[in-house]
Chain A
Amino acid sequence: MYQIKAKIILNKKIIPEHYKICLDAPEIAGEAKPGQFVHIRAREGYDPLLRRPFSIHKSQGEKIEILYKVVGKGTQLLSRKKIGKKIDILGPLGQGFKVNPGLEKVILVAGGIGVAPLYFLAERLAGYTHWKAEKGSKRQSIINDSSINKNQLDILVLLGAETKEKILCLEDFKNLNVKIEIATEDGSESFKGLVSDLFFQLLSKESQVNLVCACGPALMLKRIAELNYRYKIPCQVSLEQRMGCGIGACLGCTIKGQTGYLRVCRNGPVFEADEIQWNEI
């Protein structure tokens, strides 16, 4: 975990309300794992008061990239940050996706901006970069070229968006040579409906799915988790919650788990779906 002043290399709008910011953050980029996040101070001063958490979208060399949607004051301020300025960031934080060797088929389900951490995961799963084993981790998270042959690993990405114009990262995923299915709520592209509906439809056709990883709105995750429970497929979800410290000290971002409250920032943001008490969400 580092606190650094990271220089902004790029900060641009990619589609309405959605931005990409690229930061020079060598320490963080070196250690970041898919599913982890950074806690960004959008401005000096006290309104907004707190930092804002963002999933790491890409980590390459000495740079990290964040994909974000403008939803309030913090993201509004972030979107106005100029290239060359520095911003205060903490990271990498939290537990990422835990993937064991020996996978054959993985489905990634992204709802809207929830695609951000899943691209990072897909990239590492596709074997484009090494993903170092996490020291001292109870669960294994070994993914590298030797443990997974990218030819053998079948990655299916489901992208959900409101409309065709709001589909994110499509080109990036195409470059990874993964299978892609799209759902739009208005039917302007491919499947008409929610990405969880598309997922349900595909589940009946797909066999041998070893793992589902999902990120998106809470209700979408709830639906995905329920379906996986029914079909007995291991599932990991990346959750969101208002955060205080972001490092596990303030107990502000908890959600109800099977064994008591869990800190989204420290125990998550990625959880096994069966750790969560979904009826509380």
Chain B
Amino acid sequence: MSSESKKNIDLSVRLGRITLKNPVLVASGTFGYGEEYAELINLNELGGIMVKAVTLEPREGNPPPRLAETPAGLLNAIGLENPGVDVFLKEKLPFLRRFQTAIIVNIAGEKEEEYLRLAERLNQVKGISALEVNISCPNVKEKGLIFGTDPEQTFSLVKKLGEITDIPLVVKLTPNVTDITKIAQASQEAGAEALSLINTVLGMSIDVETRKPKLGNITGGLSGPAIRPIAVRMMWQTFQKVNLPLIGMGGITDAEDALEFILAGASAVAIGTANFIDPKTALEVIEGIKQYMQVKGIKNFKDLIGWLK
């Protein structure tokens, strides 16, 4: 393809008040706070960075082992290890702000109060495009996941967050529910700007020699290509039921994978586990989407969203 025709392609996309220069993000928890990957790829080329979850207080995380590989999948139980919001603001965000890319801060907590206080702390902070409300981490024993499995609690939390902060709210949904669209609808009614889906699928793996669980936390969250069909299905279901922009994630490794989510209704996608395998994945997905649009004769990325027959 000529570079001239590629130039005419518009990859920019708006998710409510959030503007992305292209629809390819990197998923929270797989990219740290960008420092490490900045040594390998140009972060300015990314549509956005969904940073590792931040909590009000520092969290030590779960005991090792924290990872177990499964066929085409990765089980993790990191347990939201992070230095807390104060260190994040002082040491991590200034670095991220140097790049021309959307910074979406993933916030997590055990109690409603923690989310609300986090939102207060971040409200006046410059350089944050959105808050990703993590109500779906499977690796905290406390209440983090409960919010995300109950429509009423989701509604209550998102509503209260919206009253505290002007920063757009992206609600991250868990697949570990009977009907994800119920949580999606509750988020919409509460004023979410966009939704991201899916978080990891709750799983477990056992070492039959030692007869012990492979993870220190016993159970963990499954990610990687193994969960992609589940994620695509949930994207498609959610797209039918809500009018919010959706960010698709779950096992994306290349442009074709990303396009599955986009055709099913995603306005943007996030690369997660694939960052570990090949740090260039997100950049290659951007190129691959351009290529697809060129071949299909589509100039505006927006026209691809939900283009499923």
Contacts and interface: CB of A to CB of B under 8 A. Distances in A.
Interface string A16-45: 000000000000000000000000010000
26 contacts: A3-B40, A41-B277, A41-B278, A47-B71, A47-B72, A49-B69, A49-B72, A49-B74, A49-B225, A49-B273, A49-B277, A50-B69, A51-B276, A241-B65, A242-B69, A247-B37, A249-B37, A250-B32, A250-B67, A250-B78, A251-B78, A251-B81, A252-B66, A252-B76, A252-B78, A253-B64
Contacts of B69: 48-50, 242
| 7 nearest CB pairs, A to B | A249-B32, A46-B72, A252-B67, A247-B36, A245-B276, A249-B36, A248-B36
Given A1-B39, A244-B276, A249 B81 contact: no
Determine chain A's interface SS by DSSP, over half rule. loop
Contacts of A223: none
B66 A251 contact: yes
A163 to B, nearest CB: 22
Interface string A73-97: 0000000000000001010000000
Nearest to B224: A49
Main secondary structure of the interface of B (DSSP, over half): loop
Interface of A: 1, 3, 41, 46-51, 88, 90, 241-256, 260-261, 266, 280
A46 B253 contact: yes
B60 A261 contact: yes
A254 B277 contact: no
Contacts of A49: 69, 72-74, 224-225, 273, 277
Contacts of A261: 60-61, 64, 81
Contacts of A255: 64
Contacts, number: 99
B13 interface: no
Given A49-B225, A50-B69, A244-B74, A250 B64 contact: no
A51 B40 contact: no
B241 interface: no
Interface in B13-36: 29-32, 35-36
Interface residues of B, number: 36
A251 B66 CA distance: 8
A1 B40 contact: yes
A250 B277 contact: no
A243 B67 contact: yes
A75 B65 CA distance: 20
Given A49-B72, A246-B276, A249-B30, 11 more contacts: A3-B279, A46-B253, A49-B225, A242-B67, A244-B67, A244-B276, A245-B36, A249-B32, A249-B35, A249-B37, A280-B63
Contacts of A251: 32, 52, 61, 66, 78, 81
Nearest to A46: B72
